[in-house]
A = this chain, B = another copy of it.
Amino acid sequence: MNYPGGIKASRNHITIYKNRGMTLEEDLNITNQFYQEEDIAYIYKKPTPIQITKVDYPSRKEAVIKEAYFKEPSTTDYNGIYRGYYIDFEAKETRNHTSFPLSNIHPHQIEHLEHVLRHGGICFLIVRFTTQNETYLLTGKDFFDFLKHSTRKSIPYTYFLEKGYPIPFEYHPRLPYLKAVDEMIGGSYEN
């Protein structure tokens, strides 16, 4: 069981890991909240796709889902709008310190990213290597370049060093990933 703020409960005791850091999802949530409050961008997490198979109605107004299953995601977790651009990305952590396993990204999500790119949106991956505690933004273009030219089942860490934008930890916002998006929009980015 993971609690926010680095508190971890095991069977009989609670330990607080100081400076242990938050999960990538928590970091992105507070980052997106900051971007929204400062009116910089509007980027949000989509609901988790669920297949509902049984619903009870104990009263007219109330519905309780009694059986449901997690569906394989057909889109990415995050999307929104920044400087008029459609923004779309998937965020993943890996404990693997030499590469990012492509099994983390479902085939439907890859199709989704292709659609977004083709219609003029901005898409990317945000990948955290938890062992190194380093976070990278990899543009959709560089991601698809890799898929096109490689048969490997994982993207090497060195590819992120070479092609990715490192995203530092800061205070406000926690993960300033839109700086990388600014570079994508401003200069060398090609769709």
Contacts and interface: CB of A to CB of B under 8 A. Distances in A.
Interface of A: 36, 39, 41-42, 44, 46-50, 52, 63-71, 74-75, 79-86, 115-116, 118-121
The number of times this chain is found in the oligomer is: 2
Contact of A84 (B67, B79, B121): B121
B42 A75 contact: no
A115 B36 contact: yes
A81 B42 contact: no
A85 B75 CA distance: 18
Contacts of A44: 74-75
A43 to B, nearest CB: 9
Contacts of A46: 46-47
Nearest to A75: B44
B81 A120 contact: yes
Given A81-B86, A82-B119, A116-B81, A50 B68 contact: yes
